Amino acid sequence: MSLEQLANPAPESPTQGNSIEATLRRPAPRIRRKPPQICDSCGRVFTRRCDLKKHAKTHERAFKCTAAGCDRTQGFGLQKDLRRHIDTIHRKSTFTCDYPNCRQTFSRSDNCQRHFEEQHSN
Ligand SMILES: [Zn+2]
Ligand SMILES: [Zn+2]
Ligand SMILES: [Zn+2]
């Protein structure tokens, strides 16, 4: 027995063994379990990340009402909510010129008053 044989006791040649293993043990298609998408703010669980992202926006309240004199400082999670707020709150407080047959509308009473003075006061 030579020293070389003792140092390499493997019966198969390493290259051959590797190629056989590579073909036999094909990497099984690993079903990667996606971690559940959990909302940090309320703990709701979503299966899809895009759903969580969409939901998270409702906590961000990124849509803020910019109407002058609006006392709603919180903002809205969805743009449609903001739009509804504007429709219900600010459309209601529209100021209409009282001058006969004018009926111009204004979002602020002072604008309406100024209009009245400028257009109808003489
Ligand atoms: Zn949430
Ligand atoms: Zn508002
Ligand atoms: Zn008018």
Q: What torsion do the CA atoms of 82, 84, 88, 94 make, to the nearest 10 degrees?
A: 70
Say if 101 falls within a structural domain: yes
How many domains are there within the chain?
Answer: 1
Q: What is the pLDDT of residue 52?
A: 92
Residues with CB under 5 A from ligand 1 (ion): 39, 41-42, 44
Say if 98 falls within a structural domain: yes
Q: How far apart are CA 74 and CA 66, in angstroms?
A: 11
Q: How far apart are CA 81 and CA 74, in angstroms?
A: 12
The 10s digit of each residue's pLDDT in 71-103 is 888 888 888 999 888 887 777 667 888 898 998
Say if 68 falls within a structural domain: no
Q: How far apart are CA 76 and CA 60, in angstroms?
A: 8
- Tell me, in angstroms, the distance from the centre of ligand 1 to residue 56's CA: 6
Say if 100 falls within a structural domain: yes
Enclosing domain of residue 96: 79-120
Say if 55 falls within a structural domain: no
Give residue 23's pLDDT band: very low, low, confident or very high (50, 70, 90): low
Say if 85 falls within a structural domain: yes
Report the greatest alpha carbon distance in the chain: 124
Say if 93 falls within a structural domain: yes
Residues with CB under 5 A from ligand 2 (ion): 65, 67, 70, 72
Say if 114 falls within a structural domain: yes
